[in-house]
Each structure stands twice: as C-alpha cells, then as structure tokens.
Amino acid sequence: MGKIIWIASYPKSGNTWVRAFLANLFGPQDEPHDLNRLNEVCPTLTSRALYDARLGRSTLDVPPQELLKLRQDVQKTICSATSESVFVKTHSWFGEESGQPLIDPDCTAGAIYIVRNPLDVAVSAAHHFGVGVEQMVAHMADANFRTAPNEKHVMEYIGAWSQNVASWTWQPHPKIFLIRYEDLHAAPADVFGSLISFLGLKPAQERFERALRYSTFESLAQQERTSGFKERPANADAFFRHGRPGEGSEVLPPALIDSIINSHREQMTRFGYLRTG
C-alpha cells in the first residue's frame, strides 16, 4: 500500500507549475507532458470521478456532508491502488471540518507546500474565480471559504489564506518541503533541484533540464493557447495569465492592500512579504 505526497497550496499559488515540472520529469521526454493529462501523474483530491468510483455510482445527488465523510475512503483508495508514493493535488487547509480530518495522516507520506504573496494571489484568484478583487480579498479572510461543487469536482475546504498557509507550515516538519513562489520564479533550477533532492530522486541532468524547459511559465502558457487547458474556469480568459511577482502591489488599491495586510500580517511577515518594523 502506497502513501500520498500532497502538492498543496492556496489556489493560484503555483500548484500547477510544480505538478507540470514533476509530470515532465517522470514523463516521456521527446515533447512536453500534455497539460490536460496532469491527473495521470497527480490526481486531484476533489475530482468527483474518485468519489463516484468509491461509491460505485454518481455522487451528484450526495450531500456535501456525506461526501466529506467519504473523503477519507477516497484517500485510502488512492493509497491502496499502488505500492509506491503518489502525488495528489489539494487546496485544502490541513485541519478538520465537522469533526472529519480533511487530510488523512495515515495516508500521508509528506507534502510539498507552495506559498505565494497574498497580494498577488488576490489578483490572480479574482480572475480565476471570476469575482471582483474586493470579493476575493473577503474570501481570503474567510475561514469558511470553500469551492462550490460541480459536475467535475466535489467541494474543497480552502479556508482563509493565513489559515491555509499556517496549517501546513506552522510546525517545521522534515517531510514537508516548502516552496515560496517568488523563489521558484527567480531561480527555478535551484528550487526544483532542492525538491528532487527532498524526494530522494537522482534524475539524469539532461532529463532534469528538459523538465525545467518544458515547465517554464512561457511553455505552459503556449501549450494552453495551442491546446486549451481543462482546468481553466469558463469565466477566465486564461489559466496562465502573467505569473509575475509584484502585480498585486502595483494594481490593488491602497485600501485593499491594507485589508490584506491587516488580515494576514503574521504569515506575510513570516514569509518575507512584509518588512518587520
């Protein structure tokens, strides 16, 4: 029986970038891994197909509270399908909902957690979810923030930005690898090199370099323009917009910047997004 290595983050923090790198590292090297087949390397915990398979029928009529109870069974099913570790994507915070653990510790081997400046997250996530930045900033401060279920996905329990970040990172753990999006943007070879060392991998240098090349922001954006990307919401013009650190501080009005800082000051300071003093 295998165990799960979570690729976890608040939405629009670089989760897909990390998954794309790993998919290109493990996949065929003659061309970039198909963005629309990322789930073959890293399934998503909220994928409704996993819940349908576990229950043996469609779960569209199953209440969220029942699906929440089924969540642990889905994680166990993922683990029982392999004898090795498997990557699984989540935007969940690491805690409990209605007495149910959202992340099953018994199924967990470790995690890769990606954190991004919440000023930039607010702008990117507003485009992604099709809401105004004011509403997105409110969502980011809401401990009960969750995604609405649809035909493809069950509900995800995201929580507030600070809550999500702190739940995975507050206690340093040797089996949790932390990535700052800004560091990944500045030095992808260094960050991904450290990641594969954390995972105990020793790929050939040529394979590593090709995985880097196939998973640049420009490469992923081009693939989306050419072939589309099924994870792009219908209301968004593109999944891969800019990916540039610092956008939030440039485009958000001062009142919203102050609101984000006031809500998330402690975690922003921890990760270098605010200067102390």
Q: What is the pLDDT of residue 244?
A: 80
**The two structure tokens encoding residue 53:** 């398979």
- The pLDDT value given to residue 184: 95
Q: Using CB atoms within 10 A of its CB, is residue 189 exposed (0-12), middle (13-18) or buried (19+)?
A: exposed
Share of the chain above pLDDT 70, in %: 91
What is the pLDDT, as a whole number, of residue 237? 59
With the C-alpha atoms ordered 84, 90, 93, 97, is the resulting torsion angle positive or negative? Answer: negative
The tens digit of pLDDT for each residue in 95-148 reads 999 999 999 999 999 999 999 999 999 999 998 888 999 999 999 999 999 999
> Span 247-252, mean pLDDT?
92
pLDDT of residue 241: 54
The pLDDT, as a whole number, for residue 231 is: 54
pLDDT at 60 over 70: yes
Give the tens place of pLDDT for each residue, 62-107: 999 999 999 999 999 999 988 889 999 999 999 999 999 999 999 9
CATH superfamily for domain 4-270: P-loop containing nucleotide triphosphate hydrolases (3.40.50.300)
What global pTM score does this model have?
0.92
DSSP lists the bridge partners of residue 88 as 6
Output the pLDDT for position 9.
98
Helix H, strand E, coil C: the string for the chain is: CCCEEEEEECCCCCHHHHHHHHHHHHCCCCCCCCHHHHHHCCCECCEHHHHHHHHCCCCCCCCHHHHHHHHHHHHHHHHHCCCCCEEEEECCCCCEECCEECCCHHHEEEEEEEECCHHHHHHHHHHHHCCCHHHHHHHHCCCCCECCCCCCECCCECCCHHHHHHHHHCCCCCCEEEEEHHHHHHCHHHHHHHHHHHCCCCCCHHHHHHHHHHCCHHHHHHHHHHHCCCCCCCCCCCCCCCCCCCHHHHHCCHHHHHHHHHHHHHHHHHCCCCCCC
Q: Mean pLDDT for the chain?
A: 90
pLDDT score for 159: 98
Number of CB atoms found within 10 A of residue 177's CB: 20
pLDDT band at 190 (very low <50, low <70, confident <90, very high): very high
Gyration radius of the chain's alpha carbons: 18
10 Å CB burial of residue 103 (0-12, 13-18, 19+) is buried
Q: Given pLDDT bands bounded at 50, 70 and 90, which one contains residue 276?
A: low
Would you place residue 8 in the very low, low, confident or very high pLDDT band (cuts 50, 70, 90)? very high
Sign of CA dihedral 123, 128, 134, 136: negative
* Average pLDDT value for residue range 143-162: 96
Considering only residues 171 and 161, tell me which one the structure prediction assigns the higher pLDDT.
161
- Residue 42 near residue 48 (C-beta atoms within 8 A): no
- The answer to whether residue 24 scores a pLDDT higher than 80 is yes
What confidence score (pLDDT) does residue 232 get? 59
